[in-house]
Structure 1
Amino acid sequence: MSYSILTSYDRGAIETLNNFGYSLQKIADTLGFSKSTIHYELQRVQPYVASLAQQDADHKRKQCGRKTTLSRSQKNLIESYLALTWSPAMVAHQLKLATSTLYNWLNNGRINFLLTDLPHRNAFQRRKKENRGTFKVEQTIENRPDKVNQRQEFGHWEVDTVLSSRGQDKTCLVTLVERQSRMLWAIKVPNRTKGAMKLAFKRFMNQFGSTVKSITVDHGKEFSGYRHLQQQYGIQVYFCHAYSPWERATNELFNRKLRYFFPKKSHFRDVSE
């Protein structure tokens, strides 16, 4: 069974195994599909429900080979969604279109929105190497409990910093995203230092208090005071691997959306709270 066309029975099995907490690879091995097939199938509807996924697949199959027209109202709606930082894939799913169709309309100018203005335009840009020193960490992301990984409990946050224009303004934002609810929070601080991070967390903890159970961060020097955070607030700090932003994917997505409104040459000192 090494094909990638899924039946309603296959989708029912995928839903069951996914609800049991099976990994992508384990679902693929159990059902005899590739891991990528399972990955794309689970992205079809979220949370994944087999009956809704089958309806979506049937609808898209009916659209195959048919020329899709673009009405004025549909064009205006697409442009509005894109202006709200929706990705073309999200817009296509909402309007029951093929993503390739939407990209074709963008490429040939039928949609008044530049590809360079999409929120993910810099998603794969090579990052500059961190040169602010290193420090020893205790808990890495491998030690993070399954209930955190699977978003089963409120109170686990991903944290990062978003900088102003390099070399011109040290003001930055501390961005925080709660993994289960996707609640977004941002705090303006004067610089990207351990001291500034302590001030930001004082404000953050005054707001959320004992509901905060853990944070997941990268190896930025501003997080070198993590032991103080653990001791003062009783929260666990988990570190991602170096240069692995996908391990904080929820926070990275928020940061990219934020950059859509505040491009990299923005000065956060000029942005009010």
Structure 2
Amino acid sequence: MDARVGRPAPPRERMSGFWAGIRSGLSQERAASGAGVSVASGRRSFIDRGGVMPPTGAGQLRRSLRFAEREEIALLRAAGVGVREIARTLGRHPSTISRELRRVCHHRGPGDRHKMKYRASTAQADADQQARRAKPARLATSQRLRMEVQSRLVDDHSPEQIARRLREDFPDDPEMWVSHETIYQALYVQSRGGLKQELTKHLRTGRAVRKPRRSGGQRRERFAGMVLISQRPPEVEDRAVPGHWEGDLILGSLESGSAVGTLVERTTRFVMLLHLPGGHTADIVQEAMVTKMATLPEQLRLSLTWDQGAEMANHIQIAEATGMSIYFCDPHSPWQRGSNENTNGLLRQYLPKGTDLSFYGPGMLDNIASQLNSRPRKTLNWRTPAETLDALLSGTSGPPGVATTD
């Protein structure tokens, strides 16, 4: 039995759909599911290609027979239908069908030709194998060019810098010219040969797998159902009503993987700290936040504004448990949580950078928050956050008279 007979590789059009999903920003799992291929096949393709999308233009897909067409050819051929009739049925040229039928015979002797049956799986496997026989890369065949590129990569030159300088340094020698994309392909797609993958450490990103690029119009929401800060009500912005919070994480040393959650009420600058034992995953942050917010009266649980960090992946569950509306800042926009950013700076006096923050238990964190809430604040007319909050809750004072962005 032919060793290639069996389950064929995913059809090219499906893999094209997988890579289109990757390009749009989907995870490998979601891209595979959307394209109708197995997650294992998607991952294998991604790793084999080093994250580089293969050339699968629309014209190439139209020229190539699809697996479904090969199955149709097998059925019609088994029924005794001739080449021209099969071509008319599929809308293909007769020579395409004739060449396809010869695919199963090219590795057998002439006497075996009429003894063989056309199998779609065998033909698809052969087509996939032929497609992988790409033209040898220039960096794999030219040692002189390869050595020049490697030496410049070791000197931490970027592929674009290398490509541009090669044309300057060898203006009369086109054999020493190479595009920056060819260099990237040789680094990330090891089947292309030429450059060792270890050289990727000299790239500015240091990545061994290419990160799929997206155009600006393809930016997607980080979490399903997230509501951006631009949709936050004006009453939150003017700080007239207490109960609107800003939150973030203060990270400990990289080795410890520790963190402390910080919550700041926008009107009073009142601070609460979240104890995060065992890390700062979405589940741990959810449990700590729901527990801490339960200590507040309902009128102080109106909204929360947070960065688009992975720790807030369970924002829908948090909103349901606390009754709060949750808004997300724009990417890389910490100033949109001005009060929280300012408070985190003050907290570093108690929670130094580069230390293991798991040392601080719930009681210690409550004491730190209490000290900060007892400090007179200029933005509160030199009242403390604790005094201001008590006054607002008791109805004996309006909001602070001094409005700043901190």
| TM-score relative to the length of structure 1 | 0.49
Higher-Rg structure is 2
- Larger RCO (CA within 8 A; separation ≥ 6): 1
